[in-house]
Structures are given as structure tokens and as C-alpha cells.
């Protein structure tokens, strides 16, 4: 397996497009994306567990109930959530794309992201559909840009891998910067692959994957209403269709996880206002549940995040977060290290502080990628979680988002 370029267009038979149609006021920001598979593809998705669900999610769920889809249509600038006419508008979006592409409306996955609770006007989408479809190409960048909101960077990753003697490809794009605390799903992520895999196995692979990828990130503890991760697999790699667990399924899952983990790190690093990626690498837990709960609590703590912004080795806050994580942990066994590209420093052994050089710690923490290593010294389970620091700019971005 190796990382390659081209994101959602890396897999055979996929094209994409992204335009500014007018949902956003800023003409320099694309706001409508389309991803199309030449062949009808197996489709699987996971959705937010928030009880408030964006209307597009309900429509998508119904559309891919048969396990197949051919296209993904996504707008930014408006979440189409908490609107009385939300589902009607989402269905109209599917119909518009279907007409332009000559496919059934139920083969369209639809998604929206942006402000909650403002009606989404269908007219700019209708007016822009012709340009959107005519712009389809194997350049994945315009689509990757068109799904962004407060993101400052495009998030795209792809791999080439061997599958049943054939060369297969799997790539994805993501958006997400604030309201990031996925629960069984994530912000918007679209993955395409030319692997041949039955819809049931695709769903199984995706549902398992998000537990170790998107469910392990947090920017601000707020689980979005519009989280969705969707995979289309069109089978054009020519491998024997994966219909059960085994070597091919494992190869597919490894490729999927390589791309989703890369996207996770990009989302966390580009958290609203963030200056650095903060990773918690946890080892020595008695159970997987404990490992997951503790690592996530550490990267979610506002106080740990603010200390990371200040490059302050305030490890007491890490212990504090471990203590309230809700897991059965012997806090008198906990070791904590701070690590980055320039070094690794022990700050706590057996739950108590050790002498360390503040200057050296500062140097480690000033890097733009910092790992908080926590060893619970109680067992063999481990977990990784990704977050970011809490900065002035997070407050600035969210103090007046709508205007």
C-alpha cells in the first residue's frame, strides 16, 4: 500500500466537480460539490448520533437503503437543518443532480454543511447544476474545496493497494473544523474506491473503521447535526467481489483505515483556531473502553488544550482529565510523557510529578505536532485520540459565525 494523489478521483471511474453557485456570499468560495461514479457503486454510510439530524441525512439514508448509489451532491454555507422544508429541499437537490446526470434520484447521496436553522434556497443550486456537471473531471481539488466551511485547508488523501491480485485505489475528502466531536460518525467525509465489495461488507468495514478513526477526534466537544461519512465502491478495479471476511477484506480495511486516519489528523490539525495537532497515545489500559475513554478525555479537556496553546507543561491537567474520564483507573500508576519531533520528556511517574527541565519541556511543546503519552500500567489495551489546542482564534471564529 502506498499513498498517492487525487483524493476522491484516485479510484478508477470517479470524477468530481466543485463550483461557486451563490449559497455563500463570498464569490471566491466554492459552495457546491459533485462526485460521480461511472458505474453504479456499492454505498455505505454512517451518520451522526445527534438527535437533531440534518434533513440531507434522512434523505441519503432512504436513498442508499438498497446499498447502492452513483453520485454525491454536497453544498456548503447552509446545513439545511432545523428547517420545516428541509427534506423537501434535499429531495429537490437529488432530483436536480439526477436529471442532469441521467440517473435515478434515489442513486444520489446528498449532504449539506454550514449554518443551522436558515432555510436553504434551492434556486442557486438549480441555476448552477449545468456548470457543476460540465465541470466533472479527474481533478479532485474543486470538490474538496467546495465542501469546506471554516476549514483553512483542503483535506484529501488516497492510497493504492493490492487486492485479490489486482491494483485497487481508495481515496477520500473531508471537511470539518468546528463542532467536531463525532459519535459513531464524523463531519462530512466522502470516500471512493474502485474495489469490488458487497454493500453489506462495505458497511461493516466502514462501521468498524470509524471507531478507530473519526470517533477518536474532537475539536470542541460539540457533536454536529450533519456528520456523515459515506463510501462509494464501484468495483472497477476488477478484483473478485469481497463478500466475506478474509485476506481481501483485511486488505480493504487497512486501505480504508490509512485514508481515514490521515483525514482525522488533518481535521484535528485544522480545528478552528488551532495552532497545533495534539495526539494522546494511551497504553497500558485494562480494557479497550478504558483506553478509549481516557485518551479522548485528555484531548477534550479545555484546560489541557489551553495549556498546549501556551506550550505549558501543565501535566496536572492531564491527570485531572484522566481522573474524570469515567474509566476504572488506578491513578497512582499513571506515567505521562510529552513528545514531539524534537524530543520526549517524562513529567509524571506513578501519578506524581517528577523533576524535569521546564525549558526542555517548552521546546518539546512548541512544535506544531505534540503527543501526550499516557501509560496506565494496568493492562495491554491501547488507544489514540486526536485533537488540537484551544486558542484566541477559536473564540473569534465562533463568537460571530453567522454574520
Most distant CA pair in the chain: distance in Å? 69
Q: How far is the CB of 70 from its own copies (least distance, A)?
A: 31
Q: How far is the CB of 172 from its own copies (least distance, A)?
A: 24
Strands (E), 227-342: 228-233, 277-285, 335-340
CB nearer to its own copies: pick between 252 and 309: 309
Contact, 155 vs 190, CB < 8 A?
no
CB nearer to its own copies: pick between 200 and 323: 323
Phi, psi (5° rounding) for residue 284? Answer: 75, 20
Contact, 146 vs 18, CB < 8 A?
yes
Assigned C-alpha cell, 93: 437537490
147: nearest Cα among 279, 315, 16 = 16
Q: How far is the CB of 370 from its own copies (least distance, A)?
A: 14
Q: Which of these is catalytic: 15, 60, 149, 186?
A: 186
As a whole number of Å, the CA-based R_g of the chain is 22
State the residues that interact with its own copies by CB under 8 A: 49-53, 79, 81-84, 115-119, 178-179, 181, 183, 220-225, 300-303, 306-307, 309-310, 312, 314-317, 319-324, 329, 331, 348, 351-353, 390-392, 394-403
CB nearer to its own copies: pick between 3 and 392: 392
Q: How far is the CB of 15 from its own copies (least distance, A)?
A: 33
Residue 186 annotated among the catalytic residues of the structure: yes
CB nearer to its own copies: pick between 82 and 95: 82
CB nearer to its own copies: pick between 46 and 136: 46
Q: How far is the CB of 40 from its own copies (least distance, A)?
A: 33
Active site residues: 186
Amino acid at each position: 500500500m502506498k499513498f498517492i494523489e487525487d483524493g476522491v478521483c484516485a479510484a478508477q471511474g470517479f470524477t468530481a466537480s466543485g463550483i461557486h453557485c451563490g449559497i455563500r456570499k463570498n464569490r471566491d468560495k466554492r459552495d457546491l460539490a459533485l462526485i460521480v461514479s461511472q458505474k453504479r457503486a456499492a454505498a455505505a454510510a454512517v451518520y451522526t448520533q445527534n438527535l437533531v439530524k440534518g434533513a440531507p441525512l434522512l434523505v441519503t439514508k432512504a436513498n442508499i437503503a438498497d446499498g447502492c448509489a452513483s453520485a454525491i451532491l454536497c453544498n456548503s454555507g447552509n446545513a439545511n437543518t432545523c428547517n420545516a422544508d428541509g427534506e423537501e429541499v434535499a429531495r429537490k437537490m437529488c432530483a436536480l443532480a439526477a436529471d442532469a446526470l441521467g440517473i435515478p434520484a434515489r442513486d444520489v447521496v446528498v449532504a449539506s454543511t454550514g449554518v443551522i436553522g436558515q432555510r436553504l434556497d434551492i434556486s442557486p443550486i438549480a441555476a448552477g447544476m449545468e456548470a457543476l456537471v460540465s465541470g466533472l473531471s479527474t481533478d479532485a481539488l474543486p470538490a474538496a474545496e467546495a465542501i469546506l466551511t471554516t476549514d483553512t485547508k483542503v483535506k484529501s488523501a488516497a492510497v493504492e493497494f493490492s487486492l485479490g491480485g489486482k491494483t485497487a485505489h481508495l481515496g477520500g475528502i473531508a471537511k470539518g473544523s468546528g463542532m467536531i466531536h463525532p459519535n459513531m460518525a464524523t463531519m462530512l467525509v466522502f470516500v471512493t474506491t474502485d474495489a469490488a465489495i458487497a454493500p453489506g461488507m462495505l458497511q461493516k468495514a466502514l462501521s468498524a473503521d470509524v471507531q478507530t478513526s473519526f470517533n477518536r477526534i474532537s475539536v470542541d466537544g460539540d457533536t454536529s447535526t450533519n456528520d456523515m461519512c459515506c463510501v462509494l465502491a464501484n468495483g472497477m478495479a476488477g478484483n473478485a467481489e469481497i463478500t466475506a471476511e478474509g485476506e481481501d477484506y483485511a486488505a480493504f480495511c487497512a486501505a480504508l483505515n490509512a485514508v481515514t486516519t490521515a483525514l482525522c489528523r488533518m481535521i484535528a490539525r485544522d480545528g478552528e483556531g488551532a495552532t497545533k495537532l495534539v495526539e494522546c497515545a494511551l497504553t497500558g489500559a485494562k480494557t479497550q473502553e478504558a483506553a478509549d475513554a481516557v485518551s479522548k478525555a485528555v484531548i477534550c479537556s479545555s484546560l489541557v488544550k489551553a495549556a498546549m496553546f501556551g506550550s505549558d507543561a501543565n501535566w496536572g491537567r492531564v491527570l485531572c482529565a484522566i481522573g474524570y474520564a469515567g474509566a476504572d483507573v488506578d491513578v497512582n500508576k499513571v506515567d505521562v510523557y510529552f513528545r514531539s519531533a524534537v524530543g520526549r520528556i517524562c513529567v509524571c511517574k506513578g501519578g506524581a510529578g517528577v523533576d524535569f527541565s521546564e525549558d526542555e519541556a517548552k521546546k518539546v511543546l512548541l512544535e506544531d505536532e505534540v503527543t501526550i503519552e499516557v501509560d496506565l500500567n494496568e493492562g495491554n489495551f491501547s488507544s489514540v485520540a486526536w485533537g488540537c489546542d484551544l486558542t484566541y482564534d477559536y473564540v473569534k471564529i465562533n463568537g460571530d459565525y453567522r454574520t
